[in-house]
Amino acid sequence: MAYKKPESVLVVLYDQHHKVLLLQRNDDPEFWQSVTGAMEDGELPIETAYREVAEETGIDAKQLSIEMFNHNRQNQYEIRSRWLHRYPPGTRFNTEHVFSLQVDSTLPLVLTEHLQYEWVDKAQALARLWSPSNKEAVSMFVPNVP
């Protein structure tokens, strides 16, 4: 198995009604999150963001000409011990680049890495998300309902 690069993206998806897309992880059903994924060698963060959204949801935002918002924000967090084996030996921290994407919630989703998905309001998302950086991104970058 090739090691993951300790640099990733977080992409918060929300719809026209400001509902947030939550994804339930296959490997930890208690863990709900936004789209995330490790950067590949030679890939820019924006390229990773578009790729991960397409891989995890089936939404090809680039092909649909949906603009990805780069918040020029990086978080650094300690990698959960249960996932350390995926990274080079001695790696403890990951750098995460934060993006958001507004999509139409009627677009069909095709899950490849998650058990299920739900569109929930911002308050519900904040209550259910596991990751502090994911909660912060939803809080900061998903508009409040007018």
Average pLDDT, integer, range 98-124: 96
C-alpha 93: how far from chain center: 17
CATH topology of domain 7-140: Nucleoside Triphosphate Pyrophosphohydrolase (3.90.79)
Beta 32-33 vs 20-25: how paired, if at all? antiparallel
**Region 95-123 average pLDDT:** 96
User: Residues annotated in the binding site, as ranges?
Assistant: 4, 25, 36, 52, 56, 113, 131
Cα–Cα distance between 103 and 76 in angstroms, integer?
27
pLDDT band at 27 (very low <50, low <70, confident <90, very high): confident
Retrieve residue 70's tokens: 């780069």
At 31-69, the pLDDT tens digits run 999 999 999 999 999 999 999 999 999 999 999 999 999
Go through 31-64 and write b for each residue having 16 or more CB atoms within 10 A of its CB, e for each that does not: bbbbbbbbbeeeeebeebbbbbbbebbebebbee
**Which residues belong to the annotated binding site for substrate?**
4, 25, 36, 131
Q: How far apart are CA 80 and CA 18, in angstroms?
A: 30
User: Which residue ranges are tagged as binding site for Mg(2+)?
Assistant: 52, 56, 113
Going from N- to C-terminal start, the domains of the chain cover: 7-140
Q: Which pair of structure tokens corresponds to residue 34?
A: 């936004």
* CB-CB neighbours of 128 under 10 Å: 17
Inform me whether the pLDDT recorded for 145 exceeds 90: no
